Amino acid sequence: MSAAPPAGAVDVHRPGRADTTPPARRPRLVASLRALGYVSPIWVFVLAVGIVPTGYAVWMSLTEQTLTAPYPAFVGLDNYVQAVFTAQFAGALGVTLIFVLAGLITQFVVGYLLAVCLHQQLRGFRIARTILLIPMLLTPAVVGLTWNFMFNPDLGVVQAIQGVFGIHANWLADPTLARLLVVMVDSWMNVPFVMLLVAAGMTSLPEEPIEAAAIDGAGWWKTTRYVVLPMLRPVLVITLLVRCVDIARIFDHIFTTTQGGPGTATQSVTLEAYNSTFQFFQFGHGAAIALALALIMFPVYFLYVRLTKI
């Protein structure tokens, strides 16, 4: 007669063994599966609109693709050598840098002054705020075409106003004026964005340091420089990075106003990539130019992620 197994022992010879998963791990496993169900749509979206297109662009930049070739041929880094390490790309990068610097200075100065006026809540500021937000709500292509018609040398209203004062400047034919026109169009549309962020940052500032500066006899400029701007630094830096990236990839305003002219005076990197892809059908060159711009702007992306703790 065999002895009975001790208490708490598991008979491994019996069929249908019980689940050996520790009870403490079951709720954690269920919670993980539930969380996976919540985040899986986001990952599918990121995969569909971010990872897959980027991977396809990288593959396209390493191949030679044309409308007549049945299959793409792998060429390695030849597209980068022929499209990126050229004087034409360097010129387009220089034009883009001009737009970035001029746009940031214009938009931050005007946006800050408008934010100060809104923060003081002067009479009629609600109506003014609504009017100032209208440019940000419009379509960039429509805005560019409208400004192009306004500065048309034959039918534009700006040309008619210039004629009254004896000025006959062709904004679309002069390189300097054409670049200034692109900066004006982009600033007109995006100054409200800067104004909103700066005004939102001003509403969260404590009043005590500003009141103390006023008691000490500090004027508007000293209060702004030594009190307001240091407290607004986080908001200003984030706004600066966002606008820097947005201006660096400017395309709509250039394409609808100057189309890169006169000559290549306003041809940015994004317009260079567009022309290579859709005008000359050099798909590998266009992808290489676009990826080169992304790599150049990567430090700005990295800094933005670090500052926003994403």
Each residue of 9-50: pLDDT tens digit? 545 455 555 555 555 567 787 787 788 888 888 888 888 888
Task: Quickly tell me which residue has 């103390």 as its tokens.
Answer: 212
Task: Quickly tell me which residue has 């034409």 as its tokens.
Answer: 88
Type of residue found at 119: H
DSSP 132-162: HTHHHHS-HHHHHHHHHHHT-TTT-HHHHHH
Query: Phi/psi at 74 (nearest 5 deg)?
Result: -75, 125
% the chain with pLDDT above 70: 91
- Higher model confidence: residue 19 or residue 85? 85
Q: Are 277 and 283 in contact (CB under 8 A)?
A: yes
**Tens digit of pLDDT for each residue in 229-277?**
999 998 999 999 999 999 999 999 999 999 998 999 999 999 999 999 9
pLDDT classification of 211: cutoffs 50, 70, 90: confident
The mean pLDDT value for 121-149 works out to: 88
Q: What confidence score (pLDDT) does residue 306 get?
A: 79
**Cα–Cα distance for residue pair 188/183, rounded to 1 Å:** 8
The boundaries of every CATH 1.10.3720.10 domain in the chain are: 79-308
Task: Quickly tell me which residue has 């560019």 as its tokens.
Answer: 144
Per-residue pLDDT at 286 exceeds 90: yes
Helix and strand numbers, DSSP H then E, in the chain: 17, 2
Q: What confidence score (pLDDT) does residue 243 get?
A: 94
Type of residue found at 30: V
Integer-rounded Cα Rg, in Å, for the chain is: 29
Angle of helix 87-119 relative to helix 175-203, nearest 10 degrees, comes to: 40
The CATH number given to 79-308 is: 1.10.3720.10
Q: What confidence score (pLDDT) does residue 3 get?
A: 55
Per-residue pLDDT at 287 exceeds 80: yes
- Higher model confidence: residue 293 or residue 13? 293
Q: What confidence score (pLDDT) does residue 218 get?
A: 86
- What is the pairing mode between strands 73-74 and 63-64? antiparallel
Strand, helix or coil for residue 69: coil
**Largest distance between two CA atoms of the chain:** 122
Cα dihedral 131→133→137→143 (10° resolution): 70
